Structure 1
Amino acid sequence: MDFNLFVKLGISAILGLVIGLERELKRKPVGLKTCLVISISSCLLTIVSIESAYIFPLKDHITMDPLRLAAQIVSGIGFLGAGVILRRGNDSVSGLTTAALIWGAAGIGIAVGAGFYWEAIVSVALLIVSVELIPLLTALFGPKQLREKEILLQLTISRAEKIDDVIEAIRQQTIAIKTFHIKDIDEKHHLLKLKVAVYQKQTATDVYYSIRNIPSVTSVEIENL
């Protein structure tokens, strides 16, 4: 029994735990348990692939690729990642970061299983910095587009002739309108759907109160993207 193999599985579990905790704290659908399973399983399959490549050739004189299973992990994990990507609209997709971290957890497991401990540890640290620290820095010091977030608005307007006035009032509140859609509910009520961009520091409630006070707006519904 090789104790080093158990060390590899333990390290992969710890590193998978770090990635899983980051997703769990953000209440993402793929969290702690999934990342642990992916990291440990990838490490195990890599260990089996490498060890079997050196055990069976000695018995049967067979030439084997020591990383043949690891290569299948990389492609196979893509199906699991695709399952967490959700399309929420014509141009709105969520879950890409979670899918990428699933793929990253598998890569960490493979690296540990192949014996690249420090490389795996540094990679996890860089992954956490990339998904946690970098967005904060870009929100503070990045270009204007990176300091904004998009919000979906649904407004009910009482008078059709006031729609232009409502749109202009929204623009005057430092809210950039990306797209809008108008739909008649009945003769006296009209639905205005807007995708707008606001500064990261603005909360949804701030936007709600500022728009709710616009004349002719009878109801407001807000959704963060």
Structure 2
Amino acid sequence: MDFHLFMKLGISTVLGLVIGIERELKRKPVGLKTCLVISIVSCLLTIVSIESAYVFPLKNRMAMDPLRLAAQIVSGIGFLGAGVILRRGNDSISGLTTAALIWGAAGIGIAVGAGFYWEAILSVGLLILSVELIPLLTSFFGPKQLREKEFVLQITISNNDHIDDVISAINQQIIDIKTVRIKDFDDHHHLIRLKVAVDQKKSITDVYYSLRSISSIVHIDIESG
């Protein structure tokens, strides 16, 4: 067995491990084991694709693409990526970064399998910087929209005469209201559903206690975006 092939699989394992640990630390549905499997198997299929182009005798060897099998990995990995993209009840989409990193882990495996070691190592470093450091920097130095996070608020009040007062009071709490939905209940209560944006430094408990100070509010339900 060629030692060079073991080295490729070993490098692919280490780089897949780095991506998997990053996802595992964030408790994402695709974690360490999945990223390792994707990276290692992508590397293996790339090796098989390249080696088989030169091992098996063909009458017209130049007509065979050495990366033909590896090219199918990119499209095939989309099934896994689609499985981790979720639409929540508050109309927000989650899992896009994880799906992109699944695709990235496959790309890293292909690059290592094809012999592009330093390119693969640099790509993993840039991936980790992109998902960890850059969002942190934008939360401090980026435009206002990038320094905010969204919540969905469901507030119950007992008197519809207080709806305008409640919305005005929420605005005064340095909470930017994006959308408003009002619904009547049979027991004369009224539900106000708001999608709001607040500063990144504000925690969900800060928002809760700010709303509890508004006397007209009967019940509060806060969902983090």
After TM superposition, the score normalised by the length of structure 2 is: 0.97
d(CA) in 1 for partners of 2:183, 2:199: 28
Aligned partner of 1:114 in structure 2 is 114
Q: Give the partner amino acid of 1:13.
A: T
Summarize deviations over 1:123-167 as a string: whole Å, max 9, x none: 000000000000000000000000001101111111111011000
d(CA) in 2 for partners of 1:41, 1:62: 28
Is 1:207 the counterpart of 2:207 in the alignment? yes
Summarize deviations over 1:77-127 as a string: whole Å, max 9, x none: 111101111112574211100000000000000000000001000000000
- In structure 1, stretches of 5+ residues that fail to align are none
Is 1:42 the counterpart of 2:42 in the alignment? yes
Aligned partner of 1:219 in structure 2 is 219
Aligned partner of 2:125 in structure 1 is 125
d(CA) in 2 for partners of 1:67, 1:198: 48
Equivalent position SS for 2:88: strand
- What is the Cα deviation at residue 184 of structure 1? 1.0
Superposition misfits of 4+ residues, deviation over 2 angstroms: 59-63
d(CA) in 1 for partners of 2:117, 2:44: 14
The correspondence for 2:59, drawn from 58, 61, 67, is: 61
Is 1:136 the counterpart of 2:136 in the alignment? yes
d(CA) in 2 for partners of 1:212, 1:188: 21
Equivalent position SS for 2:139: helix
Matches within 5 A, 1:176-215: 176-215=176-215
d(CA) in 2 for partners of 1:81, 1:166: 42
- In structure 2, stretches of 5+ residues that fail to align are none
Q: % of aligned pairs identical?
A: 78
Q: Give the partner amino acid of 1:23.
A: R
- What is the Cα deviation at residue 187 of structure 1? 4.1
d(CA) in 2 for partners of 1:91, 1:223: 12
Aligned partner of 2:149 in structure 1 is 149
